Amino acid sequence: MNENIKYGAAAVAVVGLAIAAAVYITQRKPQVAKSPAPVTAPAPLPKEAPPEEPAIKYPVAAAPAPEPLPALDQSDAPLLGALQGLAGQIALDRLVVHEGLVRKFVVTVDNLPNNKAAERLRPVWPVAGKFAVSGTEDAPVLDPANYNRYKPLIDVLRAVDDDQLVALYVRYYPLFQQAYEGLGHPPEYFNDRLIEVIDHLLATLEVKDPIALARPNVLFEFADPKLEALSAGQKVLIRMGGENGAVVREKLRVLRAKLVEQPQRK
């Protein structure tokens, strides 16, 4: 019975109980019990969409290989062997560290745009010799003799074949990507980061000699606050001198073009 009808009949019962009862009895018809209206469960709240992985700008094509890649922790020996074929044993021993090479390369690339890059995590040995300073005690400048310390590295850069170097990078790229993800970044693509860092280095100011220095504490620094505020990677380009820096810039431009031209992989 409808709830409104039931409570209305009860209200008039005191004035016409008999009549009301008779009317109710004679007029009512058999009622088909109605099933209670189904309870509609509330629509589930939409699930939060998983964060979208950033689009890859510069994908690296998977390189066909006669044998699978080694595990990241066992990659030093085969990678060093491949690098030896490009640079030669003597140059390799003088320049490249022999342990944790992939991880150190990835960490260093990632840190070059920062103010500092940890020396213990660099994939190459420090340049030989002492930091050379000339000028006077009150007005020190970066001694051009300092630039000779970078000659072994520059000679290797000039000698290494660009196509072979890129092919080696592509061959080992899955390990570089694995090491990059191991840094704890959100999902990102290492080759995109590498291109970003190359662009950062190519934007380095070209500074002419003499380059004024200051010594507020134990170590020398650039006297020009604008130069001192540059990143670790950009400071290295300036410290190695204009001629050496030009060689590095040209190599970076060539490698960047070849890495960007890599065919996309689906």
Name the pTM for this structure.
0.77
pLDDT at 211 > cutoff 80: yes
Q: Rounded mean pLDDT of 77-83?
A: 93
Give the residue among 60, 64, 15, 122 at the shortest CA–CA distance from 260.
60
pLDDT in tens, 108-160: 999 999 998 777 788 888 888 999 999 999 999 999 999 999 999 999 999 99
User: In whole angstroms, what is the distance from residue 28 CA to residue 44 CA?
Assistant: 43
Mean pLDDT of the chain: 81
User: At 46, is the pLDDT very low, low, confident or very high (cuts 50, 70, 90)?
Assistant: low
pLDDT in tens, 159-207: 999 999 999 999 999 999 999 999 988 889 999 999 999 999 999 999 9
Query: Residue 33 in contact with residue 235, Cβ under 8 Å?
Result: no
Q: Rounded mean pLDDT of 37-59?
A: 64
List phi, psi (to 5°) of 141.
-135, 160
Provide DSSP, the chain: --HHHHHHHHHTHHHHHHHHHHHHHHH--PPPPPPPPPPPPPPPPPPPPPPPPPPPSS--PPPP-SSPPPPGGG-HHHHHHHHHHHH-HHHHHHHB-SSSHHHHHHHHHHHTTSS---GGG-SBPPPSSPPPEEE-SSSEEE-GGGGGGGHHHHHHHHHS-HHHHHHHHHHTHHHHHHHHHTTT-SS--HHHHHHHHHHHHHT----PSP-BEE-SSSS-EESSHHHHTS-HHHHHHHHT-HHHHHHHHHHHHHHHHHHHTSPP--
